[in-house]
């Protein structure tokens, strides 16, 4: 992308002198420093079901063709009026690089690819998985797509997402086994005496969990290095371990048995990658701010896994504390409209929801970013645009 | 009740449960009382999950400890010792292989004394119908994680109607993309917002 500091400087000047409307990217850049002109809007393009955009695109095509992903992304970018449209790869979790390490994905025309078989079935399988020396397969396709978009749109940001050690391990070992591996390891390391440890060994191998996590830590580091070697900008990139959160595991277990591996990835790659940790309450978000790695990540305050009403809206009492804390820590509150709410709600219900959160952000004078968790079948691009228009209407500071 | 055994299940102490059950049997405790202790441990674990104190690894641990204890007790239990609260068939709909949510629901129901028949993931409408015919549950629970696969829930309800089974079983649906409105639209009897609600929802349907 163009010189970041120059773009930021121009955006700040334009904002402070009130010279015209900020562009979407300018609004994002200004929000990193101060309050922009209005709340921001962001869409992860891959969250839009392809059939809603154009029936020519399906997951069988998108899994094979980088060009199809690029074409679909350009159409979404034209049709959806968000400040930022990111995430241009419609391949489910395939593009995180484990398909090349042995994870088997099922690809159907109308369903996002999903994992059905995992290469680590027994301890000996761990050593057979080699750290990639080059980007190949779907990982390479992901890099190619991102590189092409960074070339085509130098005035935009295309943030890379990398799976972290836990999520990679879930894709290599399977969600039916990894939590049990962790529990066995935890019981073993926290056992009071050797006799208990000896007994635990009769029920399984407590060394499997750390061996898998060691492997996936090295894989995660290598994936990030490969992206840099590929000439990709890592600005705004993030390391994601979305399955290392509640209710999969407790906060205590996360910090003891997952976080240290993530810190190693973060440190080994020059602390350039954001590495957040999804939490179900604003109070826990504030605790995250005290951690050197989590506190520096974008999206520290997000309603993504906050408890919801049956209709799919975040419980209303969670919003004000999140906005207050986002302001205190100079971050944004990322407010997701969940797919089922977008699908089921009437226009007047959407209006009320967006008006409420925007007015609260304006009152608190906190940065707010409204985004859509998904645009599922039954919703539409028009409905997505309607939400973003509402933010433009109600979100002016 | 043997509180030590109940506590061992609650703690997921797979490593000692068999020794404890064997010792209790040797000491003359009845298999039925020991079953009650195992169930109490499972229930306590489920309660702690509902309260946000326990998570997936703890549930898996308690489930494993329960199964190990039951492995010893099952041959010794008399007919009628295991009184079920009701039978529930659970499955994830066709095209969807996500089973964590379904497994959590299954655990919560088992720990509260329901007989749970888990028919797995990627289950076709025909297989759901077959399971209802075969197991004759009071409740059928369907799960989906994807917005695209949840649409298969309606196919199952239609298939149940076609086979004349809809009036014989209550249908409960759940999963990330599922909503109360969707449940109403497709004619399901109830919708669960999360796994912790499963027991009270199923009870309300019976």
Give residue-wise pLDDT tens across range A266-304: 999 999 899 999 999 999 999 999 999 998 877 689 999
Digit-coded pLDDT (tens) for A133-192: 999 999 999 999 999 998 998 878 888 999 999 999 999 999 889 999 999 999 999 999
Candidates B15, B148, B191; nearest CB to A377: B148
pLDDT of residue A3: 66
pLDDT of residue A9: 87
- Annotate B133-149 with b (16+ C-beta within 10 A) or e (fewer): eeeebbbbbbbbbbbbb
pLDDT of residue A302: 94
From residue B61, alpha-carbon distances to B8, B57, B65 in Å are 10, 6, 6
On chain A, the residues whose CB falls within 8 A of the CB of B98 are 114
Window 110-139 of A: residues touching B by CB (8 A cutoff) are 110-112, 114-116
What is the longest distance spanned by two Cα atoms in chain B?
A: 57
From residue B67, alpha-carbon distances to A203, A282, B39, B46 in Å are 14, 38, 11, 15
ipTM above 0.85, yes or no: no
A91-275 folds as TIM Barrel (3.20.20)
Q: CA A360, A364, A366: angle at the middle one, nearest 5?
A: 95
Digit-coded pLDDT (tens) for B156-178: 999 999 999 999 999 999 988 88
Model confidence at A321, pLDDT cuts 50, 70, 90, reads very high
Rounded to whole angstroms, how far apart are CA atoms A270 and B3? 52
pLDDT of residue A299: 67
pLDDT of residue A89: 95
Q: CA A268, A269, A272: angle at the middle one, nearest 5?
A: 135
Structure tokens at B67: 């199964």
- Contacting A with CB below 8 Å, chain B residues are 12, 14-16, 49, 52, 54-58, 60-61, 64, 95-100, 104, 146-149, 151, 176-182, 191, 193, 195
Average pLDDT in chain A: 93
Q: What percentage of chain A reaches a pLDDT higher than 70?
A: 99
Digit-coded pLDDT (tens) for A74-89: 999 999 999 999 999 9
Average pLDDT rounded to a whole number, residues A360-365: 97
Average pLDDT in chain B: 90
SS3 content of chain B, % helix, strand, coil (to 5): 60, 10, 30
Q: Distance, in angstroms, between B8 CA and closest chain A CA? A: 13
B146 pLDDT more than 90: no
Q: Distance, in angstroms, between B129 CA and closest chain A CA? A: 23
CB contact under 8 A, A179 and B56: yes
Place of tokens 């399901």: B188
pLDDT of residue A8: 81
Residue B171 backbone phi and psi in degrees, to 5 = -115, 125
Whether the ω angle into residue B197 lies within 30 degrees of 0, i.e. cis, is: no
Looking at residue A22, the DSSP 8-state letter turns out to be P
B3-76 folds as 1.10.1240
Which chain A residue has the Cα nearest residue B178? A340
A49 pLDDT more than 90: yes
- Whether A144 and A131 have beta carbons less than 8 Å apart is answered as no
Report long-range pairs for A67-71 (Cβ below 8 Å, ≥24 apart): A69/A141, A69/A145, A70/A145, A70/A148, A70/A149
CB contact under 8 A, A111 and B191: no
pLDDT of residue A2: 54
Candidates A110, A247, A341; nearest CB to B55: A247
Q: Among A385, A361, A394, which residue's Cα sits nearest to residue A35? A: A361
- Whether A111 and B148 have beta carbons less than 8 Å apart is answered as yes
Domain limits, chain B? 3-76, 87-205
From the options 3.65.10.10, 3.40.50.280, 3.40.50.720, 3.90.600.10, give the CATH code of B87-205: 3.40.50.280
């Amino acid at each position: 992308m163009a010189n970041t500091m120059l773009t930021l400087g121009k955006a700040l000047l334009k904002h402070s002198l009130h010279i015209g409307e900020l562009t979407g990217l300018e609004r994002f850049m200004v929000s990193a420093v101060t309050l922009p002109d209005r709340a921001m809007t962001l869409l992860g393009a891959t969250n839009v079901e392809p059939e809603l955009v154009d029936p020519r695109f399906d997951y069988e095509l998108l899994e094979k063709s980088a060009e199809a992903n690029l074409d679909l992304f350009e159409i979404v970018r034209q049709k959806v009026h968000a400040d930022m449209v990111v995430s241009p790869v419609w391949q489910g979790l395939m593009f995180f690089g484990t398909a090349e390490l042995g994870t088997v994905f099922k690809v159907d025309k109308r369903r996002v690819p999903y994992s059905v078989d995992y290469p680590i079935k027994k301890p000996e399988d761990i050593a057979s998985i080699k750290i990639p020396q080059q980007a190949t397969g779907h990982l390479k396709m992901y890099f190619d797509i991102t590189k092409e978009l960074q070339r085509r749109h130098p005035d935009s940001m295309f943030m890379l997402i990398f799976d972290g050690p836990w999520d990679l391990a879930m894709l290599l070992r399977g969600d039916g086994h990894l939590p049990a591996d962790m529990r066995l390891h935890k019981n073993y390391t926290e056992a009071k005496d050797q006799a208990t440890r000896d007994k635990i060994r009769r029920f399984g191998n407590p060394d499997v969990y750390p061996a898998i996590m060691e492997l996936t830590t090295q894989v995660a580091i290598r994936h990030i290095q490969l992206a840099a070697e590929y000439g990709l900008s890592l600005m705004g990139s993030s390391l994601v371990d979305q399955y290392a959160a509640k209710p999969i595991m407790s906060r205590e277990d996360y910090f003891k048995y997952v976080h240290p591996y993530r810190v190693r990835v973060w440190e080994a790659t020059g602390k350039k990658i954001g590495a957040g940790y999804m939490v179900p309450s604003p109070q826990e978000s504030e605790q995250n701010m005290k951690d050197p790695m989590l506190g520096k990540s974008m999206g520290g305050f997000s309603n993504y896994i906050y408890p919801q009403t049956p209709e799919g809206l975040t419980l209303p009492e969670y919003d004000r504390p999140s906005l207050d804390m986002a302001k205190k820590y100079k971050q944004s509150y990322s407010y997701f409209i969940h797919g089922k709410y977008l699908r089921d709600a009437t226009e007047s219900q959407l209006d009320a929801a967006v008006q409420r959160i925007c007015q609260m952000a304006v009152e608190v004078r906190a940065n707010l970013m409204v985004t859509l968790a998904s645009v599922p079948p039954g919703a539409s691009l028009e409905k997505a645009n309607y939400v973003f228009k509402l933010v433009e209407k109600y979100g002016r500071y | 009740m043997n509180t030590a055994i109940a506590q061992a299940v609650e703690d997921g102490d797979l490593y000692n449960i068999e020794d404890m059950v064997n010792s209790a049997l040797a000491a003359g405790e009845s298999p039925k009382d020991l079953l009650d202790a195992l169930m109490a441990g499972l229930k306590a674990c489920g309660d702690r999950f509902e309260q946000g104190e326990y998570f997936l690894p703890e549930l898996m641990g308690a489930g494993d400890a329960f199964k190990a204890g039951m492995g010893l007790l099952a041959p010794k239990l008399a007919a009628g010792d295991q009184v079920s609260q009701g039978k529930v068939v659970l499955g994830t709909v066709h095209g969807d292989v996500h089973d964590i949510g379904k497994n959590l629901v299954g655990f919560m129901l088992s720990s509260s004394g329901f007989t749970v028949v888990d028919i797995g993931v990627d289950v076709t409408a025909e297989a759901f119908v077959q399971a209802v015919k075969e197991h004759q549950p009071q409740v059928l629970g369907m799960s989906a994680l994807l917005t695209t696969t949840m649409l298969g829930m309606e196919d199952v309800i239609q298939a149940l109607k076609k086979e004349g089974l809809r009036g014989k079983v209550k249908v409960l649906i759940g999963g990330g993309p599922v909503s109360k409105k969707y449940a109403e639209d497709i004619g399901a009897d109830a919708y669960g917002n999360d796994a912790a609600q499963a027991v009270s929802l199923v009870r309300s349907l019976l």
